[in-house]
Amino acid sequence: MSVIRLLVLGAVRQHGRAHGYQVRNDLEYWGAHEWSNAKPGSIYHALKQMAKQGLLHAHETAPSTAGGPPRTEYEITEQGTEEYFRLLRESLTSYDQKPDVLSAGLGLMVDLDRAEALALLEQRMRAIGEWRRSVTEYYTPEDGPGRLGHIGEIMDFWVRSADFGAEWTRGLIERIRAGAYTFAGEGEPFVGVLAEGEENPYATGERHPGDAH
Amino acid sequence: MSVIRLLVLGAVRQHGRAHGYQVRNDLEYWGAHEWSNAKPGSIYHALKQMAKQGLLHAHETAPSTAGGPPRTEYEITEQGTEEYFRLLRESLTSYDQKPDVLSAGLGLMVDLDRAEALALLEQRMRAIGEWRRSVTEYYTPEDGPGRLGHIGEIMDFWVRSADFGAEWTRGLIERIRAGAYTFAGEGEPFVGVLAEGEENPYATGERHPGDAH
DNA sequence: CCCTCGCTAGTCAAAGTTGACTACCAGGTC
DNA sequence: GACCTGGTAGTCAACTTTGACTAGCGAGGG
């Protein structure tokens, strides 16, 4: 499950036709550089790779109007659209502890219709529950917890994280069920990408304290 | 910050002298294959790379007693020990949202003394607080939250995750302060690695439901 | 006594990630 | 009019990660 691929496919799809730098800006607008590994190198690599695999179609265009090297524009193919929705559905249902996947799914969930988003999130709840059950069973030594010593803290941390994830998901489900946000097929969609030339209110390279360096 | 490096250094250090397969088994014993990218390829790669960089010293040994190809044993160098403690301290103090780093730190924190572990975790609390403050300031549009539409859910998720992380850390600090676990210099350490030939009670390739595939 | 199974111990090519670097142009400035 | 800054658009080499593959040995079944 590559978060970059999901994000890049989502960005290209919303634009219809986009070049690398636009995608890069969208991801920054979404804050993706903060919670995922969305860096220039990864983005351009993903575009090229997915073009090679037929998920995107590359158009070589004339050198840009505003300086810089000639740029390549990409369009999503039918195969790419299928892959996009596959990744998006997976990001919302699977519980894999790495929060970047879920974040990407949240940013793009409105490309689904409301009913499906709800169904996927319900499925997520079940997945978390099953994960929790299997892990607590599996890692509890016969002579009770505590037997693991400080290693047990790791498990405690996972399990409580899973509980937190479930609780948060439940809240999200309620908000969506109560009518929050605009999903596919519900009129004017939320504008999630930057138009050509629009400035990004959140774009700075600023670091936050506590960031790992 | 490479989790693999931290884990591998920690495992080699506890053994005194270890070959790749032993390290691999320790990481499985710690459950690291569940919450980090500890796979054979990564482990062997990290060993080789760190040997090249002088963090480990490699001994070529005779073909093993129990079949298989000739194996290489590694010992940690002084430089490697420094790097190990640097990574370990960083894993406990820095807040980077990816839970694998913290998990590794938890598994290895008893290599520090109790006072230092507590100080580092207090530092972690402060880092989470600063991170939270800077992010909520920075990403709150002038016309109030909600302005971000569903994209705001991503931020809500991060911020609440940070709160959860802080709360959990506080609990851990209390347990440690109350005398839980055995830290460096406090007598018989907890046995965190498998002796040669000891079987691993948690070793199966079993998948858990909800795992991403 | 042969054959398969599973464990030990690891390799390798392909893919992905990182961080630093390039080149070009516009606009201000000394 | 030379220079410097900042934005646009992207490349590249070095490194890391992934998942599938290899090869040897012992135990046990037939």
- Identify the H or E element spanning A56: strand A56-63
- Is A10 in CB contact (< 8 Å) with chain B? no
Rounded distance in angstroms from the CA atom of residue B5 to the C1' atom of nucleotide D15: 13
Instruction: Give the pLDDT of residue A146.
Output: 61
* Residue A39, token pair as written in the block: 């860096």
- Say whether pTM exceeds 0.85: yes
Instruction: Give the pLDDT of residue A147.
Output: 67
Asked if the Cβ–Cβ distance from B209 to A127 is below 8 Å, we say yes
pLDDT in tens, A33-71: 989 999 999 999 999 999 999 999 998 776 555 555 668
Asked if the Cβ–Cβ distance from B128 to A210 is below 8 Å, we say yes
Instruction: Give the pLDDT of residue B137.
Output: 79
Asked if the Cβ–Cβ distance from A190 to B158 is below 8 Å, we say no
Count CB atoms within 10 A of the CB of residue B114.
19
Asked if the Cβ–Cβ distance from B149 to A212 is below 8 Å, we say no
Chain A residues with beta carbon closer than 8 angstroms to that of B101: 212
Which positions 90-109 on chain A have a beta carbon less than 7 angstroms from any atom of strand C?
none
* Residues contacting A192, CB < 8 A, separation 6+: A14, A26, A30, A107, A110, B149, B151
pLDDT at A200 over 60: no
* Residues contacting B60, CB < 8 A, separation 6+: B70, B72
φ, ψ for residue A56, nearest 5 deg? -130, 155
- Identify the H or E element spanning B57: strand B56-60
CB–CB of A38/A27 below 8 Å? yes
SS3 assignment, position A18: strand
pLDDT in tens, A98-151: 899 999 999 999 999 999 999 999 999 999 999 999 888 766 655 555 667 888
Residue whose tokens read 């004339």: A62
Q: Give whichever of A102-111, A147-156, B141-150, B201-210 has the largest mean pLDDT.
A: A102-111
Q: Which pLDDT band holds residue B213 (cuts at 50, 70, 90)?
A: very low
* Residues contacting B208, CB < 8 A, separation 6+: A130, A131, A134, A135, A138, B34
CB–CB of B28/B42 below 8 Å? no
Work out the percent of chain A whose per-residue pLDDT is above 90: 64
CB–CB of B70/B61 below 8 Å? yes
Q: What is the mean pLDDT of chain B?
A: 85
CB–CB of A26/A33 below 8 Å? no
What's the rounded Cα separation, in Å, for the pair B138 and B73?
Answer: 50
Q: CA nearest A43: which of A16, A72, A64, A82?
A: A72
pLDDT at A210 over 60: no
Chain B residues with beta carbon closer than 8 angstroms to that of A212: 1, 90, 94-96, 101
Chain A residues with beta carbon closer than 8 angstroms to that of B192: 149, 151
* Residue A2, token pair as written in the block: 């590559």
CB–CB of A139/B202 below 8 Å? yes
Asked if the Cβ–Cβ distance from B150 to A31 is below 8 Å, we say no
Q: Which pLDDT band holds residue B210 (cuts at 50, 70, 90)?
A: low
* Residue B63, token pair as written in the block: 């073909």
Count, residues in chain B: 213
Q: Which residue has the higher pLDDT, A149 or B129?
A: B129
- Is A113 in CB contact (< 8 Å) with chain B? no
Closest residue on chain B to A93 (Cα): B210
What's the rounded Cα separation, in Å, for the pair B106 and B123?
Answer: 15
- Is B46 in CB contact (< 8 Å) with chain A? no
Rounded distance in angstroms from the CA atom of residue A86 to the C1' atom of nucleotide D22: 34
pLDDT at B25 over 90: yes
pLDDT in tens, B54-110: 999 998 776 555 555 568 899 999 999 999 999 999 999 999 888 999 999 999 999
Which positions 70-99 on chain A have a beta carbon less than 7 angstroms from any atom of strand D?
70-72
Average confidence (pLDDT) over A72-92:
96
> In angstroms, what CA-CA distances link B162 with A2, A114, A124, B155, B184?
24, 28, 21, 11, 29
SS3 track for chain B: CCHHHHHHHHHHHHHCCEEHHHHHHHHHHCCHHHHCCCCHHHHHHHHHHHHHCCCEEEEECCCCCCCCCCCEEEEECHHHHHHHHHHHHHHHHCCCCCHHHHHHHHHHHHHCCHHHHHHHHHHHHHHHHHHHHHHHHHCCCCCCCCCCCCHHHHHHHHHHHHHHHHHHHHHHHHHHHCCCCCCCCCCCCCCCCCCCCCCCCCCCCCCCCCCCC
- Is B30 in CB contact (< 8 Å) with chain A? yes
User: Closest nucleotide to B53's CA, by C1' atom?
Assistant: D15
Strand order of the β-sheet with A18-19 is A18-19, A70-76, A56-63
- Is A87 in CB contact (< 8 Å) with chain B? no
Average confidence (pLDDT) over A16-24:
92
Average confidence (pLDDT) over B140-153:
71
pLDDT at A97 over 60: yes
Instruction: Give the pLDDT of residue B96.
Output: 83
Asked if the Cβ–Cβ distance from B134 to A180 is below 8 Å, we say no
Average confidence (pLDDT) over A14-24:
92
pLDDT at B170 over 60: yes
Q: Which residue has the higher pLDDT, B43 or B192?
A: B43
